[in-house]
């Protein structure tokens, strides 16, 4: 039931959205700002301006004419920068109108130069068209509309020039030009006064159409490229609500609302806004266009597709699947191949997310996309294929070739986003292969690359997923080399760039946790590492389980650790997560060592070696070799061990992390020690071993890994003792003793660990 | 205190209507007193130009027995200030009645009496509203459309809030203050002020009505502390209707009628609307007919009446109503809606849409017209216009389930079953016990091959009382598809029972489908007696006759072969707790049409 007042009196002329619907076609309305522009044009045609200044003004016309409505202060300042004299004249003219009477405005419109063939403003030129448009629009206005326009002009003028002639409003302006001029100059001396008010364009209530469009475009751009610089979610929501209250037909605002609620992970509002947007779009699509039906059906298809992507984003794969099926069906019915291609690429993404193999789909998608000349989708598909290929152990050169080919495509079409992804992918692949130098170099390349996209609103696009991935890799690389200071810096940056509530924040969160975990494990502070396990598990289940097993192993809760590792291995074999399988195999072998059962570990290690070689995972292969060598050493074949070790030593020293380097060198020294007795040049061997241990010690001390350092000192002391170097022996023994006291935990038997 | 009282009331209306009557007697015992109060409030409102409240109170007063001459309430006490302002007030009131609000306000500006002050503020408010509506026509651009505002509101708010803080506002000015706050979208404050207004002047129906529009859910209603006055029962009944709590509303109205307001056209119309809301069409129609007899020139609520006639496809009645209303006043929203319905029933959808548009021109906030226009566009297969209309309806009122449902239907027509799920769900949220949404949801799920969900929807639709009697049939067919034979058979049995028990012959085709299936089912389960019964019933229907006969032949063949009575088998089967036993098919004979 309508409220009591709504129907209090009867007004047949009352209008509503329906009646106004046809009005929406007209975009050109006379606004106070437009009057200012008109007066500028008028001044330019009538008065004499120096050539230099005239040129600058000419350059200004187009942006002023087509840009959003400006505040008077801003407008005058822009003009003033080009030609102060004209700005002054424009201001006087506006002042005449605003502080005069309605007839002054009417007079202004009658004196406007009528664009003809011979005048400066040529009839069909941009300026001529604009003036004619404005005249037409003005002449169409009804009496009350003209009066309203005049009122808003006054308001506009006084908003821009707040203090001006408040005291002498009834002064005859034309006769006392001198005094006014003085005042003007005074005003113009301090142009800042114009802009002091309304610095913040959004808080000032209703926006004009252009301003609203500009606001939306800017915020949408910022959301896409760097949402830290966009308005805060709550504030933006408030603005949008405000805008929608004034004009519910502004469909784009709903879309921005959708983006904004995605930002804060609000599924209800985002779904609602998305659907609302498309409902609105369907209206505007069907209106006015000659191929109305086409545009209308099209937006329907994309509506369904967007819904699918929304559900995908929130992890509702089943719903996403249903929505996608629907989009595909409608697209098929209307033979929209482009839309179908988009659907297909979503389909394989969805399959991938669900964890099933989608390479066939992806290949199809790439082929079709290439056929329909959709470079973006094609290379996106190739990238996805490369990713799958890398996981499945395709040969490296194939992958790199594919990436290179797509890169050529990207540069050709200036698809900067894809270039970034491609670089990030290269980083990941190099890292996976264990080539840290290459990965580092690519990461630097990405981070130092200037974006191809034009820099709008002072924002370069650097909060995409690619950047997050690159930075995470970089952080891990730093951590591997024991450069924890650098890692902290990187994380600080990541935290600023990707605040915890944003989409890509999970990447660095997991990375951060992993690094912390590793650090604590290296330091032997298992009690600190343990609480991190649930956190890791929350981010990534497999990773969490693996870490849990590691902690349990370190705490000598062997049975539990073994059970978890077995479970993990089965799971990873199912999901074909090779890297984790290898790591699990290595850990299982280590567990066997704990019970001095070295030979049982051998088949596991060999399996790991085959796997890692097959997948070109050099880092893991080297680590496996390390384990193998250790096993051999323990089984009493140090010579074999040393030869195996030599195979691994080179890549480890070149690419490996500092921990691996230390461990490898220590193992090498131990092999050498074992050989001392058998070799004829025993003393030399021992000296070499001491030297190797020194190197290992330097690595361990960078990591501050005291437990291993203690082992090194012990070995060194024994070597020195065997060589009869008492002084050195005593020094090492003392160092050992100091470390031992510091650590308090009893030393594990050195023989038992790598 | 007040809260407790309301909860108490709620408990009563839920559990015991007998108590209600006694409660009513105590409250309404003194109808004479009520009549007196009404008469006095009528004159008060009349002086202040609150025409709608006057109308409501007068309607109610008319329904009560006339008072003897000596019992008429004395005219109001005239204060010193009133006397001073007498001339200015009379002048201003005359201008006010002529809708010259600015002029009225001008002459009232110096007055001090409360009455004059109210009229002064009220004129300013109305002047602002009038200008706002006039401005809308003259806006300077599309974006300006929404920016047109009642400029007077801010000033009024400042002045009124000052007086409010000083405690100088009487019931009427409090009401005006509330209206101003509501217009400024300060809803929370508005509710508080309206509650205060009802405490100060409980007899002013306008405050209650405004409160009604602001209360969005039952929890909010319970949290309000309202004055205990007989008028509160009217309020509660009204708000129960608004919040779709129809049984509660009906009980309230019933008790009001029993308390002595049986002649009130207001109550009759409200009850009719309530019945309309729960789709009890026959009851509603009867009440509306009664209403038209009592008040033949009534236009209010006639759009609802026409909706009912439309649903029942009563062409002549609708035509008569439309012509009658046009004679009374053709420029009324209700009239336009009735004509729109009339054209729609005659399948002249373009004309229907035109009349709904006219209704919207008369009042753009007329919710029903937007939705109905959407339906018309749907009929014309103009889906985009339909979506526009529905969206407008939702903008006016987010809780309009018809518009959500309409949007869902539109997308269903566009073959987007997943997309329309959202809209149907919205509609279902608003009307959890409406089977139509549930059936629609079920159909969508079925199209998406989510049979489990679909089955749930259909079953729920049946359990909340299926209006169209289609849910069970759909459920049975779905179960048939899923080869859940026993469940399907049971669903068919309940379906047939339902169809026959409601007395009407809906669609023969579907009954025959059910019978055909049941026949085959019993045949397969070797329950030949039941099978032959079903087959015989099948023969009553044209489309299933041949199959029925074929089945009968088969049965007799099998019986000839076996020659053994199926009695034992039947007993053993029926002991197995098969669903068949629950409803013996022999019961069918009692439902024979």
What's the pLDDT score for residue B125?
Answer: 92
Chain A closest CA to B130's CA: distance in Å? Answer: 8
Distance from CA of B577 to the nearest CA of A (A): 37
As given in the structure block, the two tokens for residue A707 are: 């437990």
Of all residues in chain B, the one with the smallest CA distance to A297 is B414
Q: Is residue A23 within 8 angstroms of chain B, CB to CB? A: yes
The pLDDT of residue B583 is 42
Res. A179 pLDDT band, cuts 50 70 90: very low
Average pLDDT, chain B: 81
Q: Rounded mean pLDDT of A432-438?
A: 88
| Partner residue opposite B137 with nearest CB, options A15, A275, A307 | A15
Closest CA–CA distance from residue A281 to any residue of chain B (Å): 10
- Give A253 to chain B, closest Cα distance, Å: 13
**Phi, psi for residue A481 in degrees, rounded to 5:** -90, 10
Q: Two tokens at B308?
A: 């009912």
Give the pLDDT confidence score for residue A5 in this predicted structure. Answer: 32
Confidence of residue A283 (pLDDT cuts 50, 70, 90): low
Give the chain A residue nearest B368 (alpha carbons): A1
Q: Do B137 and A149 touch (CB under 8 A)?
A: no
**A279 to chain B, closest Cα gap in Å:** 7
- Spell B117-149 as b/e; 16+ CB within 10 A means b: bbbbbbbbbbbbbbbbbebbbbbbbbbbbbbbb
Chain A residue numbers with beta carbons less than 8 Å from the beta carbon of B137 are: 13-15
pLDDT band at A579 (very low <50, low <70, confident <90, very high): confident
Contact A212 B361 (CB under 8 A): no
pLDDT of res. B54: 92
Picking from B142, B360, B365 by the largest number of A CB atoms within 10 A of its own CB, the best residue to mutate is B142
CA distances, B376 to each of B355, B366, B379, B439, B501 (Å): 11, 16, 5, 22, 34
Phi-psi region of B79 (alpha: psi -120 to 50; beta: other; left: phi over 0): beta
Task: Please report, for residues A212, A213, A262, the alpha-carbon distance to residue A218 in angstroms, rounded to integers and kept in the order given.
Answer: 10, 8, 17
> Closest chain A residue to B56 measured between Cα atoms?
A4
What confidence category does residue B95 fall into, taking pLDDT thresholds of 50, 70 and 90? very high
- Which residues of chain A does B45 touch, with a Cβ-Cβ cutoff of 8 Å? none
Place of tokens 């016990």: B433
Which secondary structure element, helix H or strand E, spans residue A4, and what is its range? none
State yes or no: pLDDT of B319 exceeds 90.
Answer: yes
Q: Is the pLDDT of residue B6 over 50?
A: no
User: How far is the C-alpha of B148 from the C-alpha of A250, rounded, in Å?
Assistant: 16
Beta carbon pairs, A and B, within 8 Å: 148
The rounded mean pLDDT for chain A is: 79
Partnered with residue A459 across adjacent β-strands are: A456
Q: Residue A632 and residue A754: Cα distance in Å, rounded? A: 12
Question: For A11, which residue in chain B has the nearest alpha carbon?
Answer: B362
Helix, coil or strand: residue B331: coil
Task: Print burial letters for A563-574: b (CB count within 10 Å at least 16), e (below 16).
Answer: ebbeebbebbee
- HEC profile for A492-537? HHHHHHCCCCCCCHHHHHHHHHHHHHHHHHHHCCHHHHCCHHHHHH
**Do the Cβ atoms of A247 and B407 come within 8 Å?**
no
CA distance B502 to chain A (A): 34
Q: Which of A321-330, A615-624, B124-133, B361-370 has the lowest mean pLDDT?
A: B361-370
Q: Is A472 within 8 Å of A478 (Cβ atoms)?
A: no
pLDDT above 90 for B83: no
Residue A191 has pLDDT above 90, yes or no: no
| pLDDT, position A451 | 61
| Residue environment code for A161-186, b if the CB has 16+ CB neighbours within 10 A, otherwise e | beebbeeeeeeebeeeeeebeeebee
Give residue B580's pLDDT. 41
In this predicted model, which residue has the larger pLDDT, A248 or A369?
Answer: A369
Q: What is the ipTM of this complex?
A: 0.71
Q: Which of B130, B391, B415 sits opposite A9 (nearest CB)?
A: B130
Is B138 close to A144, i.e. CB distance below 8 A? yes
Higher-confidence residue of A203 and B106: namely: B106
Helix (H, G, I), strand (E, B) or coil at B531: helix
Residue A364 has pLDDT above 80, yes or no: yes
Tokens 């002091």 identify what position?
Answer: A196
C-alpha to C-alpha distance for A49 and B574, rounded to whole angstroms: 107
Please indicate whether residue B551 or residue A26 has the higher confidence score (pLDDT). Answer: B551
């Amino acid at each position: 039931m309508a409220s009591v007042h709504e129907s209090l009196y009867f007004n047949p002329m009352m209008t509503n959205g329906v009646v106004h619907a046809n009005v929406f076609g007209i975009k050109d309305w006379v606004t106070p700002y437009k009057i200012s522009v008109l007066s500028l044009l008028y001044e330019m045609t009538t008065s004499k301006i120096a050539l230099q200044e005239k040129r600058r003004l000419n350059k200004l016309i187009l942006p002023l004419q087509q840009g959003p409505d400006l505040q008077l202060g801003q407008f005058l300042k822009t003009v003033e920068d080009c030609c102060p004299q004209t700005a002054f004249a424009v201001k006087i003219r506006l002042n005449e109108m605003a502080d005069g009477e309605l007839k002054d405005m009417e007079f202004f419109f009658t004196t406007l130069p009528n664009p003809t063939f011979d005048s400066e403003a040529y009839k069909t030129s941009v300026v001529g068209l604009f003036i004619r448009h404005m005249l037409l629009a003005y002449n169409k206005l009804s009496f009350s509309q003209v009066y309203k326009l005049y009122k808003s002009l006054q308001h506009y003028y006084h908003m821009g020039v707040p203090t001006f002639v408040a005291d002498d409003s009834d002064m005859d302006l034309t006769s006392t030009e001198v005094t006014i001029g003085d005042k003007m100059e005074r005003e113009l001396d301090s142009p800042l006064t114009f802009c002091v008010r309304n610095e913040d364009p959004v808080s000032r209530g209703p926006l004009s159409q252009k301003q609203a469009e500009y606001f939306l475009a800017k915020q949408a751009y910022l959301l896409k490229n760097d949402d830290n610089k966009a308005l805060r979610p709550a504030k933006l929501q408030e603005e949008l609500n405000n805008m929608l209250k004034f004009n519910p037909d502004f469909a784009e605002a709903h879309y921005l609302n959708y983006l904004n609620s995605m930002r804060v992970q609000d599924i209800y509002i985002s779904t609602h806004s998305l659907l609302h947007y498309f409902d609105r779009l369907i209206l505007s699509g069907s209106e006015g266009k000659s191929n109305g039906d086409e545009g209308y059906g099209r937006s329907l298809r994309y509506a369904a597709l967007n819904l699918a992507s929304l559900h995908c984003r929130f992890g509702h794969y089943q719903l996403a699947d249903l929505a996608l099926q629907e989009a595909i069906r409608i697209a098929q019915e209307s033979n929209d191949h482009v839309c179908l291609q988009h659907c297909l690429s979503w389909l394989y993404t969805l399959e991938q997310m669900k964890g099933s193999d989608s390479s066939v789909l992806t290949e199809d998608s790439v082929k079709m996309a290439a056929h329909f000349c959709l470079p973006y989708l094609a290379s996106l598909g190739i990238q996805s294929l490369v990713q799958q290929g890398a996981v499945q152990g395709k040969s490296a050169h194939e992958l790199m070739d594919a990436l290179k080919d797509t890169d050529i495509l990207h540069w050709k079409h200036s698809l900067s986003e894809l270039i970034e992804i491609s670089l990030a992918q290269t980083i990941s692949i190099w890292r996976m292969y264990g080539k840290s130098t290459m990965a580092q170099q690519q990461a630097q390349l990405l981070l130092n690359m200037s974006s191809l996209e034009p820099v709008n609103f002072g924002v370069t696009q650097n909060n995409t997923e690619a950047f997050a991935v690159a930075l995470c890799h970089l952080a891990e690389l730093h951590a591997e080399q024991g450069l924890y200071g650098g890692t902290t810096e990187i994380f600080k940056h990541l935290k600023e760039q990707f605040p915890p509530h944003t989409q890509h924040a999970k990447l660095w969160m997991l990375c951060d946790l992993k690094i912390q975990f590793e650090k604590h494990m290296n330091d032997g502070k298992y009690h600190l590492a343990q609480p991190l396990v649930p956190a890791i598990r929350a981010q990534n289940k497999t990773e969490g389980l693996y870490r849990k097993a590691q902690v349990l192993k370190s705490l000598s809760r062997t049975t539990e650790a073994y059970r978890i590792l077995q479970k993990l291995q089965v799971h990873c074999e199912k999901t074909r997560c090779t890297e984790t399988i290898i790591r699990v195999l290595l850990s299982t072998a280590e567990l066997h060592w704990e019970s001095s059962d070295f030979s049982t570990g051998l088949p596991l290690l060999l399996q790991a070696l085959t796997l890692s070689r097959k997948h070109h995972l050099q880092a893991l292969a080297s680590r496996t070799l390390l384990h193998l060598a250790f096993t051999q050493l323990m089984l009493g074949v140090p010579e074999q061990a040393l030869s195996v070790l030599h195979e691994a030593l080179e890549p480890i020293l070149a690419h490996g992390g500092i921990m691996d380097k230390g461990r490898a060198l220590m193992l090498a020294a131990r092999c050498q020690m074992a050989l001392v007795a058998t070799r004829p040049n025993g003393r030399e061997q021992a000296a070499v071993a001491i030297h190797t241990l020194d190197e290992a010690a330097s690595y361990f001390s960078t990591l501050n890994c005291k437990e291993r350092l203690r082992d090194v000192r012990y070995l060194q002391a024994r070597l020195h003792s065997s060589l009869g170097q008492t002084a050195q022996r005593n020094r090492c023994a003392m160092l050992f003793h100091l470390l031992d006291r510091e650590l308090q935990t009893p030393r594990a038997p050195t023989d038992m660990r790598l | 205190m007040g809260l407790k009282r309301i909860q108490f009331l709620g408990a009563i209306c839920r559990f015991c209507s007998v108590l209600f009557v006694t409660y009513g007697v105590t409250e309404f015992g003194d109808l004479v007193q009520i009549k007196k109060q009404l008469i006095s409030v009528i004159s008060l409102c009349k002086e202040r130009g609150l025409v709608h409240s006057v109308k409501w109170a007068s309607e109610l007063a008319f329904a009560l027995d006339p008072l003897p001459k000596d019992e008429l309430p004395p005219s109001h006490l005239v204060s010193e200030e009133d006397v001073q302002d007498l001339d200015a007030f009379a002048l201003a009131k005359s201008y006010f009645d002529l809708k010259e609000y600015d002029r009225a306000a001008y002459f009232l500006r110096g007055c001090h009496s409360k009455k004059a002050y109210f009229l002064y503020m009220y004129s300013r408010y109305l002047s602002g509203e009038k200008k706002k509506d006039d401005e809308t026509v003259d806006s300077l651009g599309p974006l300006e459309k929404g920016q047109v505002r009642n400029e007077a509101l801010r000033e009024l708010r400042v002045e009124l809030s000052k007086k409010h803080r000083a405690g100088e506002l009487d019931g009427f000015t409090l009401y005006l203050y509330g209206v101003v706050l509501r217009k400024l979208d300060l809803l929370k404050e508005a509710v508080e002020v309206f509650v205060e207004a009802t405490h100060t002047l409980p007899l002013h129906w306008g405050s209650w009505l405004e409160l009604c529009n602001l209360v969005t859910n039952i929890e909010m209603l319970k949290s309000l502390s309202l004055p205990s006055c007989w008028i509160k029962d009217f309020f509660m009944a009204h708000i129960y209707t608004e919040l779709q709590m129809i049984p509660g509303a009906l009980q309230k109205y019933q008790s009001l009628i029993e308390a002595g307001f049986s002649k009130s056209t207001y109550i009759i119309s409200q009850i009719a609307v309530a019945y309309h809301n729960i789709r009890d069409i026959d009851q509603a129609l009867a009440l509306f007919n009664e209403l038209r007899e009592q008040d033949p020139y009534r236009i209010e609520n006639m759009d609802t009446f026409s909706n009912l006639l439309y649903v029942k496809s009563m062409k002549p009645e609708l035509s008569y109503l439309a012509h009658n209303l046009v004679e009374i006043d053709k420029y009324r929203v209700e009239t336009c809606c009735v004509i729109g319905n009339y054209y729609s029933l005659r399948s002249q959808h373009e004309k229907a849409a035109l009349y709904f548009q006219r209704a919207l021109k008369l009042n753009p906030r007329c919710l029903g017209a937007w939705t109905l226009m959407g339906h018309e566009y749907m009929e014309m297969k103009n889906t985009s216009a339909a979506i526009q209309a529905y969206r407008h309806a939702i903008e006016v009122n987010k809780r309009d389930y018809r518009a959500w449902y309409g949007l869902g239907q539109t997308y269903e027509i566009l073959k987007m079953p997943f997309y329309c799920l959202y809209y149907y769900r919205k509609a279902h949220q608003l009307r959890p016990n409406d089977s139509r949404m549930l059936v629609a949801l079920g159909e969508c799920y079925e199209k998406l091959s989510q049979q489990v969900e679909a089955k749930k929807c259909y079953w729920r639709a049946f359990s909340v009382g299926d209006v169209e009697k289609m849910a069970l049939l759909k459920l049975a067919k779905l179960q048939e598809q899923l080869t859940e034979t026993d469940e399907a058979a049971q669903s068919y049995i309940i379906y047939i029972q339902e169809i026959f028990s409601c007395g009407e012959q809906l669609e023969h085709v579907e009954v025959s489908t059910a019978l055909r299936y049941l026949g085959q089912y019993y045949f397969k389960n070797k329950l030949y007696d039941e099978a032959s019964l079903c087959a015989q019933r099948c023969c009553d229907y044209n489309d299933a006759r041949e199959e029925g006969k074929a089945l009968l032949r088969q049965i007799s063949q099998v019986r000839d072969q076996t020659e053994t009575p199926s009695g034992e088998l039947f007993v053993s089967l029926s002991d197995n707790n098969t669903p068949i036993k629950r409803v013996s098919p022999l019961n069918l004979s009692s439902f024979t049409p």
